[in-house]
Chain A
Amino acid sequence: MTVSEIFQSVFVFHVNAFYGIIFFLQANFFLLLSLPAAAYLAWTEMKAKAALSADDKRRVS
């Protein structure tokens, strides 16, 4: 196996992986776009809920 053949095979693997990733992103575009939005909403709600019950553990000295 020559060096150019090794480079060729590595190139083929990477092109294949690139197309696979692009296909995945294209197929799940809207899902991937809205998951951060849903996560932000969940985080906001958790934050608001945590603010309702103050963790008031005071050390009295």
Chain B
Amino acid sequence: MTVEHYNAENPRMHISYSKVERPEELTSKLKIAAFYLGVVIVWLIVASIYRGFGRSWIIPAVSVMWIAGAITAYVARNDEENTTRETRWVILGFLGFLLIYRSILPFIVPLSSAQMAAALDINIPAVSGAAIAGMLQSILLLASVLTPVGFLIWCGQKIRQYHGRRSRQAVFERVKGVKRAMKGDEQ
């Protein structure tokens, strides 16, 4: 049994750290694990909804994002918590966008050019109805390609920044060493 009180007669403390998992810590760990599991499940659901596009692009793209995030967290140790958090939120945001985009399309696509013209109160040619399909496809391609690419660029700059900071610290240490040596010579 651990006695947890301060002994005034003997203020010299004998410290022994116990590794007992508190309920709050366990809950927070379970929450984190559940979040990651949820992101993976959403990933698989979105990939299956998008069928061929999901298999050939969404699964590899998100996989590359997971791996890039893990490598960045491993390499840039000074900011690993932020890297992990941002990785999971970027992936969840990306998947959320794809899911919402796919679920609102059925409501928008059936609108004809005449209905849109009436809604906006402007003259819309009938041909633009065909252009909408191409535009929707372009939006999907742009969003689904640029998000992973942007994330990879972010990871790259983070690693580069970390190495830059390390080399700057090395220069400072060297300068300090030279100054210390010069002081030593003066004395």
CB within 8 Å of B: which residues of A? Answer: 30-31, 33-42, 44-46, 48-50, 53, 55-61
Interface members, chain B 1-32 (any A CB < 8 Å)? 2-7, 10, 13-20, 22, 24-25, 28-29, 32
Identify the closest chain B residue to A28 (Cβ).
B59
The distance in angstroms between the C-alpha atoms of A6 and B96, with both chains bound, is 54
Task: Give the number of residue pairs across the A-B interface with Cβ within 8 Å.
Answer: 99
Number of interface residues of B (CB under 8 A): 43
Main SS of chain B's interface residues? helix
Which listed residue, B16, B33, B40, touches A59 by the CB 8 Å rule?
B16
B3, B16, B70: residue with the most chain A Cβ atoms closer than 10 Å: B70
Interface residues of B in 127-163 (CB under 8 A from A): none
Among the 9-residue stretches B60-68, B116-124, B164-172, the one with 4 or more Cβ atoms under 8 Å from chain A is: B60-68
B10 near A61 with CB under 8 A, answer yes
Contacts of A56 in B (CB 8 A): 17
Candidates A33, A49, A55; contact of B32 at CB < 8 Å: A49
Of B2, B17, B32, B88, the contact of A46 (CB 8 Å cutoff): B32
A59 touches B15 (CB 8 A): yes
Q: Which residues of B contact A58 (CB under 8 A)?
A: 4, 13, 15-17
A55 to B82, CA, bound (A): 22
